[in-house]
């Protein structure tokens, strides 16, 4: 196996994927590279997540909830 050993401390934002890698074949990529790719992926993803819930979606749920209630005769 030519898997690289991480030098020093593993990044604390170690990917969930890495944690769950047991049973999977060791990837050819070094763990440091994997960790960094994972970090970038999550940073990009979390940027969107941190935008929260746009109003249009809250409104849809409220509207449908109101419709559902009236259908039930409440």
- Which positions touch another protein (CB under 8 A)? 4, 15-17, 20, 23-25, 27-30, 32-38, 40-54, 56-58, 60-61, 64-65, 68-69, 72, 74
Task: Tell me the closest approach of the beta carbon of residue 26 to another protein, in angstroms.
Answer: 9
**Contact in structure between 7 and 32 (CB atoms under 8 Å):** yes
Task: Tell me the closest approach of the beta carbon of residue 56 to another protein, in angstroms.
Answer: 7
Residue for token pair 């039930």? 72
Task: Tell me the closest approach of the beta carbon of residue 4 to another protein, in angstroms.
Answer: 7
Comparing CB distances to another protein, the nearer of 1 and 25 is: 25
Residues 6+ apart with CB under 8 A from 17: 34, 38
**Contact in structure between 3 and 26 (CB atoms under 8 Å):** yes
């Amino acid at each position: 196996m030519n898997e690289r050993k991480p030098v020093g401390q593993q990044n604390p934002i170690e990917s969930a994927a890495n944690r769950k890698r047991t049973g999977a074949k060791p990837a050819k990529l070094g763990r440091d590279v994997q960790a960094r790719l994972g970090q970038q992926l999550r940073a990009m993803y979390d940027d969107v997540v941190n935008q929260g819930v746009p109003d249009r979606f809250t409104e849809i749920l409220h509207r449908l909830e109101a419709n559902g209630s009236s259908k039930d005769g409440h």
